[in-house]
A and B are shown apart, each in its own frame.
Chain A
Amino acid sequence: MIAMDCAQPLAPRQNLTKVFRFPIFFGLRPSAFGFILLLLKPFLASAQAPPQLPPGGLMQLQVPQPSVDLSSPVSAVAAFDPPSVHVGEKTYYRVTIDATESSIQWPDAISAPAGLEFGPKISGQITQMLMNQFRPHASFVYEVKPRAEGHFTVAPFRVDVSGTPVDIPAASLDVVPPSDRTAAARQLRLEISQTNVFLGQPFRARVILPGGPNNEIEALREIEFRGDGLMVDKIVLQQAIEPLNLDGQLKMALVSEMTVTPIAAGPLKFAAQGFAAGREFTAPISIHGQVNFFGGMPRYVLLVSDPVEIHVRPLPVDGELPGFTGAIGRFFQDPPHLATNRVHVGEPVSLTVAFHGEGDLTRFVPPAARRSRDWQIIADPPPATGFTLIPLADDMRETPAIPFSYFDPDTARYEDLTIPPLPVTIVGEGLPVELPPLDNAGKTEAPLKLSAAAPAPGKTVSGLKPLQLRLWFAGVQLVPVLAFLALWQWDRRRRFLEAHPEIVRRAQARRALRREKRQLQAAVGAGDAVAFIHHAARAMTIAVAPHFPANPRALVCGDVLAQLAATGQNGPAADTVKSVFAAVDARFAVTPTRPPDWLALRPGVESVLQTLEEKL
């Protein structure tokens, strides 16, 4: 399947399937040589992408064709067209001989009269169907420009036709003064869609045959382009009769449009030629407007056009993308379609890809099948653009990407149009799930069939990599090591403290002293003098207890005084200690007296406690 269309400046979008019908019409009424050539042209002119031969095309080649009339006497006609021109105007010297072109020994130069400037020789050949034979007509045309006024005659001369001399009659030209009226030379017009193209970029060429007097339209046959470096695609010839503005006048004209592809770089100059052939239209023609067709027997007149020049640039080498097959223009791709998304190994599946484009698609070369280890890729025969894919293994999840790119002449860049991979499920060859029971049952321990599926995930792990190879597990092993180290350190410390109990006592005394000092501060804050004195005395006994060592409750004022420095034993510190203990002892008096202001002892108590704590 193929879906191609093209849209160009000169022609609307067209479907290629219509184009391929053309050779059938094209080969209906030509002469024998032309018929054969026309049938062969699709093959001769399509070396890159051979177009499809219409059904029965080969059969037509095998049918006996009418013979070519080579026995009739050969006649020749020579004339200037137009016969009367002004100086510098163009006219054509035309000689027509009823023979094949190859049989005529045409002289390299003809004796032109002085005052006439002859251009290069232009020749062509056409065949005419007469009764049951083809009659060949060869035509030789020279473009002539007179340099002076006067009457000029090309003298008769003789040419050799298949060994027989044939006389070419004389032809006369009148070069008249500018005041006299003359007719314009009848010629073709050539229009091209682009003059600046890339090598291989197809463009459209229109060969226009303006209508004659009374807008009479003639057919145009054997259209050719003269010039090197061009490939003309006549398969997609389109003909139409339409009104055109020619030299400021709206005239009906036969327009033959075809595709031309430059195959050489640089400036290229070419012109069109063709035979005006009366009513012998050989292709479908669309007619726009009122038309008068030429009546009577056709007069085969070889017409030529003025040359046109194009500039052909080579394609850039840099930036060429994979899959470039020479497609030039602007192309688009429909999403590829796979015939099925489930295929067995070795089973072909069709991948359909449709390309659209604004360029000429008649020479569109589809993407080439690339080589793949897992797929056999077979490109459909051109002009189809699909592929047949055969999976060779079952571990692929998608079809292979098929690279394709084209060159966009507008941006002068290669554009990627790779056919993307499509998801596909490939089913392999099945394996047996059950074995037939063996006669020597019991000799093998292997079961005879596969087990049923597991109903639940069962034992789950975080990963198949064993813990032995995981780094974090080595870190986990440090935890018990650290635990044992901590235990060992703890045991050492315990043994040390057991050997040095004074350290424990002093630490305990420091903790108890801090506790008593906090309570002392609380009593001062509350203004509780009794509690203050009580905590002060207790703090002092706690601070000196480790030095004896003794229980703090068993210590008295003298024990505290004994721990003061020698200088302090008779100083204010000793007085403070004595006052504190005296106040404590006053609680046990028979007749309690009103307590003095014990809180005034606070500075002295703090000083004594600081001294004792430093010693602790």
Chain B
Amino acid sequence: MNPKCKVVSSNRLRTGLAICLALAVLAGPASPSRAATNDLFARGLELSRAGQFPEAAAAFGTLARTQPSAGTLVNLGLAEWQRGRAGAAILAWEQARWIDPFDPRAGSNLKFARQVAQVDEPQLKWFEAVSACLPPNAWVWLTGAMLWLGVGLLVLPGIFRRRMAGWHQFLAALAFGIFLFSLTANFGVVSRTEIGFVLKKNASLRLTPTQNGEIVSTLAAGEPARQLRTRGHYLFIRTLGGAGWVEQNEFGLLCP
């Protein structure tokens, strides 16, 4: 074997080991956290199986606050539903679908819950419906990638003194097209953050943000609404039936 080749091979091996070590160091601190997450998740599952739904909901709720995941939120919704809190369950499943729009459990449970609770789905505008096709963060990465891909395809051949080929232009056009399309989806994502759900049964929708405010109507648990503004402990929301003020603890936003 050529000695030069041996030296090159040795260098590559050393570099590979260094990269692996660096990755291990970077991944190391996350391991205890992941273990704790798994422990809490397992505990929540165990409590659910034992029928201790309030305790299970507390465990999944804690986990969902620290490290939201689709599975945790699905299970949180199940525990909340089992303890009779339809609003909180629907919110949890919507959040699970927010993280992973392709989660079959969340979608199925939402349909079931809305049929039982007789509440509607949130009315989405077309760009919001589009944004619901992918996870919210996927859209923003897609937008950034397409923008810079298009820019790169237009700029880099000139810089590197390559002739701009036809496929360069085609790809650039495609990238800019996807970029423009994803912009609307991103707007839909931001717009969907205003959507929330009524948590308590028969929550009062008031005319004014006061305790003694006139009650415009009562809202069913799980009813969707959009938060428009805040005043003190009250939120001004718009539901399918009208607008009014609800107490902050009676309404849960999709993205708190």
Interface residues of chain A, those whose CB is within 8 Å of chain B, are 342, 345, 393-395, 397, 425-433, 435, 444-469, 473, 476-477, 480, 484, 487-488, 490-491
Contact = CB atoms under 8 A, between A and B. Distances in A.
Given A464-B68, A465-B255, A430 B155 contact: no
Contact of A459 (B100, B144, B193): B100
Given A435-B112, A450-B113, A464-B255, 17 more contacts: A426-B54, A427-B84, A435-B115, A446-B114, A450-B108, A454-B75, A457-B67, A459-B103, A460-B37, A461-B69, A464-B256, A466-B189, A467-B136, A468-B136, A480-B151, A484-B148, A491-B158
Interface string B87-110: 001000001001110011100110
A457 B83 contact: no
B45 interface: yes
- Mostly helix, strand, loop or mixed at chain B's interface? helix
B159 to A, nearest CB: 5
Contacts of A476: 144
Contacts of B85: 394-395, 428
A196 B38 CA distance: 67
B227 interface: no
A491 B159 contact: yes
B71 A457 contact: yes
Residue of A394, A449, A455, A465 with most chain B CB atoms under a 10 A cut-off: A394
B100 to A, nearest CB: 4
B156 interface: yes
Given A427-B53, A473-B140, A484-B155, A451 B109 contact: yes
B55 interface: yes
Given A427-B53, A431-B82, A468-B189, A451 B69 contact: no
Interface string B64-88: 0001111110110010011111100
Contacts of A453: 45, 48-49, 74-75, 78
16 contacts: A394-B85, A447-B109, A450-B108, A455-B71, A458-B71, A459-B70, A459-B135, A460-B99, A461-B69, A462-B67, A464-B99, A466-B137, A466-B189, A488-B155, A490-B159, A491-B159
B186 interface: yes
A122 to B, nearest CB: 60
B104 to A, nearest CB: 8
A393 B200 contact: yes
- Mostly helix, strand, loop or mixed at chain A's interface? loop
Contact of A458 (B45, B69, B186): B69
Interface of B: 37-38, 41, 45, 48-49, 53-55, 58, 63, 67-72, 74-75, 78, 81-86, 89, 95, 98-100, 103-105, 108-109, 111-117, 135-137, 139-141, 144, 148, 151-152, 155-156, 158-159, 186, 189-190, 193, 200, 249, 254-256
B222 to A, nearest CB: 10
Nearest to B49: A453
B74 to A, nearest CB: 5
B67 A433 contact: no
A436 to B, nearest CB: 12
Contact of B78 (A430, A450, A463): A450
Nearest to B151: A484
Nearest to A454: B71
A453 B41 CA distance: 11
B54 A488 contact: no
A433 B111 contact: no
A466 B101 CA distance: 14
Contact of A468 (B111, B117, B158, B190): B190
Contacts of A490: 159
Contacts of B104: 451
Given A464-B68, A466-B255, A468-B140, A457 B55 contact: no
A447 B108 contact: yes
A35 B54 CA distance: 59
Given A466-B193, A468-B189, A394 B70 contact: no
Given A427-B83, A465-B255, A488 B71 contact: no
B83 A480 contact: no
Nearest to B115: A446
Contacts of A451: 74, 78, 104-105, 108-109
Contacts of A444: 115
B54 A427 contact: yes
A428 B38 CA distance: 27
A467 B186 CA distance: 10
A159 B7 CA distance: 139
Contacts of A473: 140
B196 to A, nearest CB: 12
A466 B190 contact: yes
B252 to A, nearest CB: 11
Residue of A454, A460, A465 with most chain B CB atoms under a 10 A cut-off: A454
Residue of B48, B54, B113, B117 with most chain A CB atoms under a 10 A cut-off: B54
Contacts of B249: 395
A445 B111 contact: yes
Contacts of B82: 430-431, 433
A453 B98 CA distance: 18
B19 to A, nearest CB: 21
Given A453-B45, A480-B148, A464 B98 contact: yes
